[in-house]
Chains A and B, each alone.
Chain A
Amino acid sequence: MNKEKAIKALLTGAAFAGFIFLIGIFITLFAGSWTAIKNINQMHFIFGLEWMPYYEPPEYGILSMFISSALIGFCSSLICIPLGLGTAIYMYEIAGRKQKKFLKPALEILAGIPSIIFGFFAMAVLGPFLQNLFDLPSGLCILTASIALGIMTVPLISSISEDALSVVPISFKEASFALGANRCQTLIRVVIPAAASGIITSIILAFGRIVGETMIVLMASGGAIAVPNSPFAPARPLTSTIAAEMGEAAYGSLHFSALFEIGLFLFALTFILNFAAEKVGKKYRLKLGQGR
């Protein structure tokens, strides 16, 4: 009997690992940023456009990186949301059983492709292609990174959305058909609204993934720290600044600490997005939860 109790205690302890790591990451980021929080005027840090860690005196403002992240997130969403949802609806409504049996696992395999491959593709193929197409000074710009990020997150959106569509009870559809609605009306007026929370969750998760993605933007977005004025401008979002400069920053220096504070911001941003996704997801379970 004692063994049973000991094992339960052990498992309970292990179960908290995820929670403890989450807190641990927050504490580590906060401790790492402490020098920056103390020594940099936080209004300048958040609203400053200049990021010049090697100047004397150095400037630490993250607003232009934040804008770059937001703009890349927006452009990628324009690609991945319509393509992802279109694919989901295609698989749910148009594809036959045989086709679906092939497409679902294919999507899963595509979802497993590491982001570095997309980054490499963007840098080696897509960038030069767009440079020729639009006659740009450099192929590495917001558009290139956004296309790569958009394609990368299509499998994520379409597989979660397709799951959400396919758990809508068949009785919903039958009721709609019985009232004389056709396939398209049923889909747009009944099935999609019933699956809306699941679909929105997938979009929020994909957006979080895009904003947090590092390698693609590091390789394909060009890396200039300035407020981008068009999709063809190079940019440097939050994530790639950390990855690009961490190797050069001296351990314990103000620069090092400022990079940790960017990490803290990213952590907070994704925490909010996740929280939103969870809230929306819960609503969805409540709505369709009974009777299944």
Chain B
Amino acid sequence: MKSKIFFAACSISAVIAFCSLAALMFFILKNGLSVISWEFITQVPRQGMTAGGIAPAIIGSFYLSVFTILFSLPLGLSCAIYLNEYSPKGYIADLIKMGINNLAGVPSVVFGLFGLAVFVKFFGFGISILSGSLTLSILVLPSIIASSQEALSAVPASLREASLALGAGTWQTIRKTVLPAALPGILTGIILSIGRAAGETAPIIFTAAVFYKRGYPTGIMSEVMALPYHIYALMSEGTDPEKQTAIAYGCALILLLLTALLTSLAVIIRNKNQNAIRN
């Protein structure tokens, strides 16, 4: 009897959890679908954000994510290679891991403060794609490192031994044997980080994003509109809450689809890869 109640309670909480998340998706889907059209994703906003599309915000988020990965991947991958291939244990590795773990826990708004003080003001990059993506690249660094390291450690030791036995050096072995084998896992991490960078709001409020910008970004030094910030701005600024909320639903749906698509892609690649290793 007692055990029945316990298991029932667990089942009910699972149902509540999945239903509330489904409700969130349902409301955004229901209200967002009627807003989304070809014009909505390809045109610029008009009439003070109450009509037109959100193309500049989509493109802005795209630029921010791409540059974020460009900055963080070399650093993150190098760190993962060092931790996995050169020095997996010991005092230095512990120190490095401690740094990464704590960096992962820092609130996103604190990254925003850091980006504002260092990139926007100290280096003088101003409110720009450059400042925003540099800030975001530090934020996604821990997850890039973690997923790359996981991918590297899943490569069987026999592959390395075979390469070393043929007379290849450590770096040669890593570049020609280990990295190609770990590529799908690393790719998974990159895709997840793109989703993360595209969805983060707090770090770009002070470093990259603006509510309205005439036309598209012209270079890495220009300020941008970004999807997540656009949702926030539509809900908190402006003069016509009703029309703006409708557009915000559209933005939210696009962002939701984008991140869900990226995560699904990462999950699929990872599962395929796991099966490949097992066989």
Contacts and interface: CB of A to CB of B under 8 A. Distances in A.
Given A28-B118, A29-B110, A82 B82 contact: no
A182 interface: yes
Contact of A21 (B14, B103, B264): B103
Which DSSP category, helix, strand, loop or mixed, fits chain A's interface? helix
Nearest to A17: B75
Contacts of B196: 112
Given A116-B201, A184-B6, A243-B205, A18 B107 contact: no
A51 interface: no
A138 interface: no
A94 B7 contact: yes
B27 A121 contact: yes
A117 B249 CA distance: 9
Contacts of A247: 205-206
B82 A115 contact: no
Interface in A98-145: 103, 105-106, 108-121, 123-125
Interface string A277-292: 1100000000000000
A45 B242 CA distance: 40
A50 interface: no
Which DSSP category, helix, strand, loop or mixed, fits chain B's interface? helix
A86 B12 contact: yes
Interface stretch (B38-46, B93-101, B152-160, B217-225): B93-101
A87 interface: yes
A172 interface: no
A94 B13 CA distance: 12
Contact of A94 (B11, B138, B231): B11
A32 B27 contact: no
A34 to B, nearest CB: 12
Q: Place the interface of chain A in its size category.
A: 35 or more
Contacts of B34: none
Given A184-B7, A219-B236, A120 B252 contact: yes
B2 to A, nearest CB: 7
A112 B189 CA distance: 12
Interface string B1-16: 0110011011111101
Interface stretch (A35-43, A56-64, A225-233, A262-270): A262-270
Interface of B: 2-3, 6-7, 9-14, 16-18, 20-21, 24, 27-28, 74-76, 78-79, 81-83, 86-87, 95-96, 98-114, 116-118, 121, 138, 141-142, 145, 169-171, 192, 195-196, 198-202, 205-206, 228, 231-232, 235-236, 245, 248-249, 252, 255-256, 259-260, 262-264, 267, 271
